[in-house]
A = this chain, B = another copy of it.
């Protein structure tokens, strides 16, 4: 790999996520799914961006609801919706044919379509043709913006916090969202910076880091949290784990490009193996902290760990409180479950801002 100057990531497909802001508010599309586990995006939007969601729409036979008002695309358009968001994934990651009538109905009703899957909306001819005919946009939030540069490694002004995980899918995004809101409540100037599809839909903008070409991944992380005022905070959604056999490269590029002043390490209590890799033990919290600080020092020598975000969703409240206190004692740092709030969370926030 030779450094090249004036070198930017080529965009092979028309970038639809370029202008930054997504068309809002949204109608949430729930497809025909019957398993709530596939509706993570819809639930995330309901919980974190209710002001951006006017209602929900599903195919006949769907068994999952996000608890929003059911409405047709036509009703949603009248209620002010500007796009319909595909808020579910199907097991194969593709867009099944059964969803097409609903998607076409939304385009006809005057809504843009927003998708967050690796399968791209604009690769489906009937959607592409209808959108072109109707003057609607197909927005793939997993399509990175055009012209991402190679990382410069130069330190930027402003403060940055990155959530770092022991694994995928255990609360890095929610931790970042909770911390950003807590910073905001304390009157700080703060932006949540989204790096994955659900986060981008919640924030209404961001860069899908896992879809960026390798060479430009750290550069994308730099672009995501640009230079800012000295007291401004970017709270950046982490991805993957530095010990993940498939995604560690993404995590390292994000760590280097984010140049965090502060990391918060996220773990799910009781998870022992890498999700989807049953033979592979998770790294310990201590090892994750140590590795993230060692690697992160490369682009920010003053990086520090403020504490641990512990996902205790599987425990009852009293048990969770005991586990959180014991982990804080054992690790000698602030530990909180951001979804439970309380004094533990206050302490974690204080450690972030210390």
Contact = CB atoms under 8 A, between A and B. Distances in A.
B212 A213 contact: yes
Contacts of A13: 12
Interface string A1-25: 1111111011011000000000000
Contacts of A196: 1
A203 B255 CA distance: 34
B280 A1 contact: no
Contacts of A321: none
Contacts of A295: 242, 248
A239 interface: yes
Contact of A168 (B3, B252, B277): B3
Which secondary structure characterizes the binding site on chain A? loop
Contacts of A150: 246
B3 A275 contact: yes
Contacts of A169: 1-3
A307 interface: no
Q: How many of these chains are in the complex?
A: 2
Contact of A246 (B151, B240, B248): B151
B249 A250 contact: yes
A7 B252 contact: no
A2 B214 contact: no
A93 B152 CA distance: 18
Interface magnitude class on chain A: 35 or more
A196 B3 CA distance: 13
A118 interface: yes
Interface string A233-253: 000000110110111111111
A91 interface: yes
Interface string A322-334: 0000000000000
A7 B90 CA distance: 11
Given A1-B239, A219-B246, A242-B252, 14 more contacts: A1-B196, A3-B168, A10-B123, A151-B246, A153-B246, A153-B277, A209-B214, A211-B215, A213-B214, A214-B217, A215-B246, A218-B248, A245-B299, A249-B252
